[in-house]
Amino acid sequence: MFSGLREKVGQVLVPGDEFSLEVQETLSLTEPLKPEKVLLGPGLKRRGDRKLLVVKSGVLRHKQPHVFWVENHQRRYVPAKGETIIGIITVKSGDVFKLDFGGSEQASLSYLAFEGATKRNRPNVQVGDLVFAQFIVANQHMEPELVCVDSAGRANGLGVFGAGGLLFSVSLGLVRRLLRPRSDVLSDLQKLFPCELVVGMNGRLWVKASSVQQTLIICNLLQSCETMTTAQRQQLFRRAAQGAL
Amino acid sequence: MKDTPLSNCERDFLLKAIEEKKRLDGRQTYDYRKMKITFGTDYGCCFVDLGKTRVMAQVSGELVAPKENRPNEGIMFFNIELSPMASPAFEQGRQSELSVKLNRQLERCLRNSKCIDTESLCVVSGEKVWQIRVDVHMLNHDGNLMDAASIAAITALCHFKRPDVGIQGDEVTVYSPEERDPIPLSIYHMPISVSFSFFQQGTYLLVDPCEREERVMDGLLMIAMNKHREICSIQSSGGIMLLKEQVMRCSKIASVKVSEITELISKALENDKRARKAGGRCGFAESMPQERITALKTDETSVEMTDASERANDIVENAEVPPQTVPSPVVPAPGVGQVGQGLQNTWGLEEEEDGDEEEEEQQMEEEQDEKEDSREGDVVEISDSEEEEVVILHPETQDKSSKNAASSSNQKGAETSKQRQKK
């Protein structure tokens, strides 16, 4: 059923490409018929009953058993439920904060959605602070909503942060590469010097190293990773390690 | 749409970095970003890249009735367009405070300095004069729009050619370029604006601020100057108190920068002229048949290193990288002038470590040799001589060729004075 889709894995697709998911013409009577499912990630849309439409240009990726998505280059972030992002507080009004996260509109963050926050015990958040938060509401029709606690009420790494480091933006593709389990970029970076790194799915990175110089080096290295092959990157990182230490 | 707000951590970090004499893109305090001047297909169209800031200027001419009080002078008209393409914070069709400010500064820089002979634009006294209109469009905003706009505007004016007109009795005939060659404007001098941003109430000074630096700065000083070291306009904004010697120092730096930029502009114009004379397509149109949208753009993030010796290696690395990614040379199109692209920015202060400098110089020499080789090879085929069209200015190589010893000695003088003041 998905043979057409499977064939194209690893190839470049452009918006407008279509896949038709035809049912097998001959049904075997002996084997029980299993309904097949497919999970569509970003870049693929269902069109009608048995058609798939590609809506982003990029490389088709596949994950066992039935997950397909299009990996593309993008800088504008579109919020998705469950993703963690770095936001900047822009407004403090009443019982919600407004956050800029690089999307088309601002997200809201309740002041009760911090660890240990109660009506009486308000979190200390100022305008311009950085917040690492998670989307609990993100869809086309509603204002996106963020929280800084997990389902058990623990911070779990979320919350206000950012003293002394540098915030900068990269493309969403690079962020996904950094967040991949066993990321090659991160493992190269680990060999350089100790640093703190916060990666938001919205393309924002926050880096803090022991000195301004080191922070700038890491920031520049990560920004230049975007357009480099693995060999070029490793060479660059090696030279950075020799020069800086 | 609102602009991305600046977070507190960025602000603190930037100020701390400036205190430590570090900049985000690894520049020195007095360095400009990589600058590139490209021309369009038509006369009077010019693109200027200043780092990621990108500006387009287009000059056009029209025959109109002159102003009553100046019957035999042409009219200059400047217009700056801040489109949302440059930055989401800019709104279409509304005169923002910034655009008024930029427009005013550009007028002061180019019209009030009388750099263009307006009397030569008169056709029939009191009846017909040329109105020269300069439209400056911001294509991308990464700080220092004013400098980019002033460079683009003056370069476009130098590049522009108006159609020839003939007068028989009462009849005015405008000749097409096929009938008679178009005439360039007569330009006396080229005023160029140089921006200085001040931090911590004027304690720290940076040349060519990028967008994030502009956001945290306390004050801005814009000096428009020509290469004869005549100040055409000077404006300070941001409500900062400046000492007399600070202004003097800025004007000294400005004179160095202006002479370098003027040289770049004239080289770019010269290259374009040669490319046009050789026939063939040049300018932006050249990138069309290649169907490569990145033809005019090579993005390379410069990586700052602690050691100057590392930087020398960096040059080697950067010199190697482009051929691997793009099969043809990086040089985008004939008729392009650029500075520092793909190389270390050598403007401003020179390194004090002598050993490292030697290394760097060697590197430069090697590259120079390479270039010369390619030139020799290109003598036979002019159409292939893409390499020729690049202007890369190195203070070191200039010193060697001693072409403009005056400007480099100026620069050195300014530097020593800076260092003295630092001490």
Q: pLDDT per residue over B97-130, tens digit each?
A: 889 999 999 999 898 888 899 899 999 988 899 9
Q: How far is B298 from chain A (nearest CA, A)?
A: 11
Check if B168 contacts A (Cβ < 8 Å).
no
Output the pLDDT for position A131. Answer: 95
DSSP string over B350-376: PPS-HHHHHHHHHHHHHHHHHHHHHHH
Output the pLDDT for position A163. Answer: 86
Of B268, B400, B399, B271, whose CA–CA distance to B339 is shortest? Answer: B268
CA gap A215, A174 in Å, rounded? 18
Q: How far is A87 from chain B (nearest CA, A)?
A: 9
Interface contact flag, B13 A219, Cβ < 8 Å: no
Q: How far is B280 from chain A (nearest CA, A)?
A: 33
Q: Other CB atoms closer than 10 Å to residue B376's CB: what's the count?
A: 9
Distances (CA, A) of A13 to A58, A229, B338: 6, 22, 36
Check if B4 contacts A (Cβ < 8 Å).
yes
Please, which pLDDT band fits residue B277 given cuts at 50, 70 and 90? confident
Interface contact flag, B7 A164, Cβ < 8 Å: no
Output the pLDDT for position A24. Answer: 62
Element (H or E) spanning B412, and its range?
helix B405-422
Output the pLDDT for position B385. Answer: 39
Output the pLDDT for position B359. Answer: 43
Strand, helix or coil for residue B109: helix
Average of per-residue pLDDT across B274-278: 84
Q: Are B178 and B103 in contact (CB under 8 A)?
A: no
Q: Is B191 exposed, middle or buried (0-12, 13-18, 19+ CB in 10 A)?
A: buried
Strand, helix or coil for residue B82: strand
Average of per-residue pLDDT across A179-190: 89
Output the pLDDT for position B94. Answer: 77
Output the pLDDT for position A205. Answer: 94
Check if B17 contacts A (Cβ < 8 Å).
yes
- Give the model confidence (pLDDT) of B12-52 as tens digits: 999 999 999 888 888 888 889 989 898 888 889 999 999 88
All domains of chain B in start order, with CATH:
8-166+174-281 (3.30.230.70)
- Give the model confidence (pLDDT) of B222-235 as tens digits: 999 999 999 999 99
* Closest CB from B7, B301, B305 relative to A167: B7
Question: Is residue B207 over pLDDT 90?
Answer: yes
Output the pLDDT for position B321. Answer: 40
CA gap A132, A116 in Å, rounded? 16
Please, which pLDDT band fits residue B328 given cuts at 50, 70 and 90? very low
Which residues touch A128 (CB under 8 Å, ≥6 apart)? Answer: A88, A89, B5, B6, B7, B8, B11
Output the pLDDT for position B380. Answer: 37
Of B296, B294, B336, B300, whose CA–CA distance to B315 is shortest? Answer: B300
DSSP string over B296-355: T---------S-HHHHHHHHHHHHHHHHHH-SS-S---SSEEEESTTS----SPPPS-HH
Question: Is residue B159 over pLDDT 90?
Answer: yes
Which range, A129-138, A217-226, B348-357, has the best average confidence (pLDDT)? A129-138
Q: How far is A164 from chain B (nearest CA, A)?
A: 6
Q: Other CB atoms closer than 10 Å to residue B203's CB: what's the count?
A: 10
Of B59, B54, B149, whose CA–CA distance to B101 is shortest? Answer: B149
Point out which residues pair with B403 in neighbouring strands: none
Question: Is residue A229 over pLDDT 90?
Answer: no
Taking contacts as CB-CB distances below 8 angstroms, the residues of chain A near B309 are 243
Q: What are phi and psi of A110, to 5 degrees?
A: -75, 145
Check if A97 contacts B (Cβ < 8 Å).
no
Point out which residues pair with B183 in neighbouring strands: B162
Output the pLDDT for position A167. Answer: 94
Check if A35 contacts B (Cβ < 8 Å).
no
Taking contacts as CB-CB distances below 8 angstroms, the residues of chain B near A239 are 305, 310, 313-314, 317
Of B385, B383, B392, whose CA–CA distance to B363 is shortest? Answer: B392
Question: Is residue B303 over pLDDT 70?
Answer: no
Pairwise pLDDT comparison (A29 vs B49), residue with the higher score: B49
Check if B5 contacts A (Cβ < 8 Å).
yes
Taking contacts as CB-CB distances below 8 angstroms, the residues of chain A near B12 are 163-164
**Residue B336 identity:** V
Q: Other CB atoms closer than 10 Å to residue B383's CB: what's the count?
A: 10
Number of helices followed by number of strands (H, E) in chain A: 5, 16
Output the pLDDT for position B257. Answer: 92
Give B351's Cβ-side CA count (13 Å radius): 21
- Give the model confidence (pLDDT) of A78-91 as tens digits: 999 999 999 999 99
Q: How far is A190 from chain B (nearest CA, A)?
A: 18
**Whose structure tokens read 């476009």?**
B156
Check if B11 contacts A (Cβ < 8 Å).
yes
Interface contact flag, B9 A167, Cβ < 8 Å: yes
Output the pLDDT for position A101. Answer: 93
Average of per-residue pLDDT across A116-131: 91
Check if A134 contacts B (Cβ < 8 Å).
no
Check if A163 contacts B (Cβ < 8 Å).
yes
What share of chain B has pLDDT > 70, as a percent?
66
Q: How far is B385 from chain A (nearest CA, A)?
A: 28
Of B288, B144, B118, whose CA–CA distance to B222 is shortest? Answer: B144
Please, which pLDDT band fits residue A97 given cuts at 50, 70 and 90? very high
* Closest CB from B5, B22, B317 relative to A212: B22
Taking contacts as CB-CB distances below 8 angstroms, the residues of chain A near B1 are 104
Interface contact flag, A126 B10, Cβ < 8 Å: no
Output the pLDDT for position B422. Answer: 46
Question: Is residue B279 over pLDDT 90?
Answer: no
Check if A230 contacts B (Cβ < 8 Å).
no
Question: Is residue A239 over pLDDT 90?
Answer: no
Interface contact flag, B5 A162, Cβ < 8 Å: no
Mutate: best of A212, A224, A227, A237, partner B, most B CBs <10 A? A212
Output the pLDDT for position B92. Answer: 82
Of A111, A114, A101, whose CA–CA distance to A200 is shortest? Answer: A101
Q: Are A152 and A124 in contact (CB under 8 A)?
A: no
What is the Cα A22 distance to its own chain's centre?
33
Q: Is B285 exposed, middle or buried (0-12, 13-18, 19+ CB in 10 A)?
A: middle
Interface contact flag, B299 A102, Cβ < 8 Å: no
Output the pLDDT for position B345. Answer: 42
Question: Is residue B55 over pLDDT 80?
Answer: yes
Closest-approach residue (CA) in chain B for A167: B10
Check if A94 contacts B (Cβ < 8 Å).
no
Question: Is residue A148 over pLDDT 90?
Answer: yes
**Whose structure tokens read 């003088």?**
B413
